[in-house]
A and B are shown apart, each in its own frame.
Chain A
Amino acid sequence: MKFLWLALKDLILVARDKKAFLTLIMMPLLLIAILGSAFGNMMKEDEEVSIKKFTLGVVNLDQGQLSKVLTEEVFSKNLSKQIAVKYYQENELNKKIQDHELEIGIVIDKDFSQSLMSGKGTKVQLITVPDTVIKATIVQNVIEQFSRSVPIEAFVSQMSQPVQAGNPGGIDIESYGKKPLINETTIDAKTKPVSSFQYYAAAMGVMFLLMTVVQGVSTMILEKEQDVFNRLLLTNLTYANYLLGKMLGLMVICLTQAFIIIVGTNLLFGVDWGPSVSGIIVMTFAFVVNASGLGVLAGSFIKTEKSFSVAGMFGTQIMAALGGSMVPLYVFPDWAIYVTKFFPNGLALQTYLDLMSGAAFSKILPSIGASVGLGLFFFAIGLMRLSLERRGKYA
């Protein structure tokens, strides 16, 4: 129970520190608004001004003529200035997009030609990475226009033939324009592109939570310097209770800040954190466990606030930079993106982006498990450090 009182005490101290309170709550919202607005405009302008030629990956499962016309005539020849077509096997295309080697691809259904001719509607799967809204729209429009024009031409062609019994060619003209021709999807459930504002809301959010942990650890180290830690050790408080209390206090502060950032950005700036509310809640909790665990680990090792202020500042900046809070993760090579998952903020940011892209709760379970696991691992090392330090002194 003593860890609860310790955590409550830390919360009271933070609540009464006006400077800390403002830093924890107001600064993140302000910075997100500023960065989001700035990057939002910049990216919008980029997309409006220059759509450079891009590669369209094609998986053609159809043996008919219409798919060949679509790919070879329409995309390859007529749109050769905007689009370069490359053909892949389905799994190959998926991997290319997954690895961000290709931004956009289509999978043409095996019954594409037949369905189109018979007017039953057809499916073309459009696969994209996030932030390719314009390119996806171009490809989508081309396919839709093509799909609508084909049956009309076929109808006109058949109308010029001698009249036969029944519906000519079995084409249901009225049904066109109503049936969905495009089945848009993304690899790894990235069904929706993530805007720059969304990206930086998550990126700044995790960075500020990291900074909050650093601030909490500073307080922990300051306690050591002010003899309060020694006094605590002279009471009935155990090391486990001490660290647990510190971690719990940090977690509550971080969760409060996370709640304000997520709800604040959503209500004030309309940032969409994705459809999975449970995913956001659980991932936030997992990230906070991870970051707080790392925090108490640092607090158990470092003895003076002076040395921590340097290490903490550099450590946070490096983690923020490598974790994607400063430069978008998309520009990182694959191996770097993988490595940053070992940072609490890197893993959290990537998971938030997945959630924003529409990932289901089940999809982020490994990230949640890894995050909580790492946090508990850090806590255990911190506890061992405190215990061994004491035993070492007795040696």
Chain B
Amino acid sequence: MNMLTVQDLRKSFGNMEAVKGVNFSVEKGESYGLLGPNGAGKSTTINMITGLFPPTSGEIQIKDINVIKNPKQAQKWIGVVPQEIALYQSMSARENLKFWGRMYDLSGSELEKSVDQVLEIIGLTERAKDKVETFSGGMKRRVNIGAAILHKPELLIMDEPTVGIDPQSRNHILETVKRLNGEGMTIIYTSHYMEEVEYLCERIGIVDHGQLIASGTLSELRETIGDHSKIILSIDKDSSNLDGLAQSLTSLFSEKDIQIQDHQVMVFHKEPQLILTDFIQSVAKSGTKITSVDIVEPNLESVFLHLTGRKLRD
């Protein structure tokens, strides 16, 4: 059963088309990642799904509700974690959660119980009475998530929930999301951190320039680049004959599988151990000094690079 269906979604701001015909669906209980660089159109897509922005055209359905026609009805099923910290800084964590709970029509003992549960989930029971302004960035992000799950939504949409926080808080948030998903909550997780999406999401959609350029499980996406690993040779900073080096490599490998940038020479290959020796010898013959060798298994970064010619964080 589909929790969310998005069909030919488009959004224009004046002459600029921010989202260009996006299609995807998310099943109930699934965790779906939207991966893409900043400005790719992820947040605009999310805002339309939540009913905050209307699309220029297209269809969005949550369960059997048309979001465009009945946004308020659809919003009852969803919880949204915005990219920014949307909390009241001079109120405590508990006061914030109670306020947002009331906005979702919770009251009385149901509200109290829900707030206690959420505080436990986000690991802030001990700090419940402290003002949010005294929290670290990571703790604020946790309250930001807590405010979205008070009403026990079936679909939780998280827009870059880990931006600018310490590794410990990031791990806590990732574990929390994993736990919620394990309890049956459907998750849509947008990020430009590929490792988070890889860790959390069963299926992933890659967004760039307002388009969904690839979608599938991690292994399916790896297949799109032929499951190629990446051999990275770091070279001396004084190496000057890079053009000659590139020319000599093209005699061994296809041009699209070679990249030279930032004092690194990279080659993509399905079986790196078979070409490693030739690759190193070829570079060394060109008079370039090698400082290190690294082999990277195919990941979302390489998929994105393969699909767009750019790094995710460019």
Q: Of A9, A230, A236, A238, which is within 8 A of B99 by CB?
A: A9
Asked whether any CB of chain B lies closer than 8 Å to the CB of A330, the reply is: no
| CA of A237 to CA of B100, assembled, Å | 10
Interface string of A314-330 (1 = CB under 8 A from B): 00000000000000000
Asked whether any CB of chain B lies closer than 8 Å to the CB of A390, the reply is: yes
Q: Among A11-19, A161-169, A267-275, which stretch is in contact with chain B?
A: A11-19
Q: Using A12-B95, A13-B88, A390-B54 as known contacts, say yes or no to A231 and B102 having CB atoms under 8 A apart.
A: no
Q: Of A12, A230, A236, which is within 8 A of B104 by CB?
A: A236
| CA of A126 to CA of B163, assembled, Å | 77
Q: Among B17-25, B76-84, B181-189, which stretch is in contact with chain A?
A: B76-84
Question: Are the CB atoms of B102 and A2 closer together than 8 Å?
Answer: yes
Q: Interface of chain B, helix or strand or loop or mixed?
A: loop
| CA of A234 to CA of B95, assembled, Å | 19
Question: Are the CB atoms of A235 and B88 closer together than 8 Å?
Answer: no
Question: Are the CB atoms of B82 and A231 closer together than 8 Å?
Answer: yes
| CA of A228 to CA of B99, assembled, Å | 12
Question: Are the CB atoms of A13 and B86 closer together than 8 Å?
Answer: no
Question: Are the CB atoms of A5 and B103 closer together than 8 Å?
Answer: yes
Question: Are the CB atoms of A234 and B75 closer together than 8 Å?
Answer: yes
Q: Of A16, A227, A238, A393, which is within 8 A of B84 by CB?
A: A227
| CA of A231 to CA of B147, assembled, Å | 10
Question: Are the CB atoms of A230 and B82 closer together than 8 Å?
Answer: yes
Asked whether any CB of chain A lies closer than 8 Å to the CB of B314, the reply is: no
Question: Are the CB atoms of B91 and A236 closer together than 8 Å?
Answer: no
Interface centre among B78, B84, B86, B99 (most CB of A within 10 A): B86
Residue of A nearest to B150 (CB): A235
- Give the contacts of A62-81 with B (CB-CB under 8 A): none
Question: Are the CB atoms of A236 and B82 closer together than 8 Å?
Answer: no
- Contacts of A50 on B, CB cut-off 8 Å? none
Residue of B nearest to A16 (CB): B90
Interface string of B86-107 (1 = CB under 8 A from A): 1110110001000110111100
Q: How large is the interface on A (under 10, 10 to 19, 20 to 34, 35 or more residues)?
A: 20 to 34
- Contacts of B165 on A, CB cut-off 8 Å? none
Q: Of A12, A226, A238, A393, which is within 8 A of B86 by CB?
A: A226
Q: Using A9-B91, A17-B90 as known contacts, say yes or no to A235 and B100 having CB atoms under 8 A apart.
A: yes
Whole-angstrom distance from the CB of B72 to the nearest CB of chain A? 7
- Contacts of A226 on B, CB cut-off 8 Å? 84-86
Q: Using A9-B88, A227-B84 as known contacts, say yes or no to A236 and B76 having CB atoms under 8 A apart.
A: yes
Asked whether any CB of chain A lies closer than 8 Å to the CB of B213, the reply is: no
Q: How large is the interface on B (under 10, 10 to 19, 20 to 34, 35 or more residues)?
A: 20 to 34
| CA of A228 to CA of B87, assembled, Å | 7
Residue of B nearest to A230 (CB): B52
- Give the contacts of B30-73 with A (CB-CB under 8 A): 47, 50-54, 68, 72
- Give the contacts of B136-175 with A (CB-CB under 8 A): 147
Interface centre among A16, A235, A236, A394 (most CB of B within 10 A): A235
Q: Of B78, B85, B103, which is within 8 A of A232 by CB?
A: B103
- Contacts of B78 on A, CB cut-off 8 Å? 234
Whole-angstrom distance from the CB of A40 to the nearest CB of chain B? 40
Whole-angstrom distance from the CB of A382 to the nearest CB of chain B? 20
| CA of A168 to CA of B100, assembled, Å | 91
Question: Are the CB atoms of B68 and A394 closer together than 8 Å?
Answer: yes
- Contacts of A16 on B, CB cut-off 8 Å? 90-91
Question: Are the CB atoms of B54 and A393 closer together than 8 Å?
Answer: yes
- Contacts of A17 on B, CB cut-off 8 Å? 90
- Give the contacts of A221-250 with B (CB-CB under 8 A): 226-228, 230-238
Whole-angstrom distance from the CB of A23 to the nearest CB of chain B? 16
- Contacts of A9 on B, CB cut-off 8 Å? 88, 91, 99
Question: Are the CB atoms of B86 and A230 closer together than 8 Å?
Answer: yes
| CA of A390 to CA of B99, assembled, Å | 25
| CA of A2 to CA of B101, assembled, Å | 11
Whole-angstrom distance from the CB of A301 to the nearest CB of chain B? 19
Q: Using A226-B84, A231-B86 as known contacts, say yes or no to A5 and B52 having CB atoms under 8 A apart.
A: no
Whole-angstrom distance from the CB of B7 to the nearest CB of chain A? 17
Question: Are the CB atoms of B90 and A13 closer together than 8 Å?
Answer: yes
Whole-angstrom distance from the CB of B100 to the nearest CB of chain A? 7
Whole-angstrom distance from the CB of A242 to the nearest CB of chain B? 10
| CA of A226 to CA of B144, assembled, Å | 13
Interface string of A16-40 (1 = CB under 8 A from B): 1100000000000000000000000
Question: Are the CB atoms of B54 and A234 closer together than 8 Å?
Answer: no
Question: Are the CB atoms of A12 and B91 closer together than 8 Å?
Answer: yes
Question: Are the CB atoms of B80 and A234 closer together than 8 Å?
Answer: yes
| CA of A9 to CA of B92, assembled, Å | 12
- Contacts of A390 on B, CB cut-off 8 Å? 54
| CA of A149 to CA of B82, assembled, Å | 88
Q: Of A227, A235, A237, which is within 8 A of B82 by CB?
A: A227
- Contacts of B147 on A, CB cut-off 8 Å? 231
| CA of A234 to CA of B87, assembled, Å | 14
Question: Are the CB atoms of B54 and A236 closer together than 8 Å?
Answer: no
Interface centre among B87, B88, B147 (most CB of A within 10 A): B88
Residue of B nearest to A241 (CB): B103
- Contacts of A230 on B, CB cut-off 8 Å? 47, 52, 82, 86
| CA of A188 to CA of B308, assembled, Å | 80
Whole-angstrom distance from the CB of A8 to the nearest CB of chain B? 9
Residue of A nearest to B133 (CB): A16
Whole-angstrom distance from the CB of B34 to the nearest CB of chain A? 18
Q: Using A227-B82, A228-B86 as known contacts, say yes or no to A237 and B103 having CB atoms under 8 A apart.
A: yes
Question: Are the CB atoms of A234 and B91 closer together than 8 Å?
Answer: no
Residue of A nearest to B81 (CB): A231
- Contacts of B76 on A, CB cut-off 8 Å? 236
| CA of A17 to CA of B90, assembled, Å | 8
Question: Are the CB atoms of A13 and B91 closer together than 8 Å?
Answer: yes
Question: Are the CB atoms of B104 and A235 closer together than 8 Å?
Answer: yes
Question: Are the CB atoms of A233 and B99 closer together than 8 Å?
Answer: no
Residue of B nearest to A242 (CB): B103
Known pairs A227-B82, A231-B82, A236-B72; list 10 more (Cβ under 8 Å): A2-B105, A5-B103, A9-B88, A16-B90, A227-B85, A228-B87, A234-B51, A234-B52, A236-B105, A238-B72
A–B Cβ pairs within 8 angstroms, 5 of them: A9-B88, A16-B91, A228-B88, A230-B47, A393-B53
CB-based closest 9 A-B pairs: A235-B103, A394-B54, A227-B84, A231-B86, A227-B86, A16-B90, A5-B102, A228-B86, A393-B54
Binding site for A on B (CB under 8 A): 47, 50-54, 68, 72, 75-76, 78, 80, 82-88, 90-91, 95, 99-100, 102-105, 147
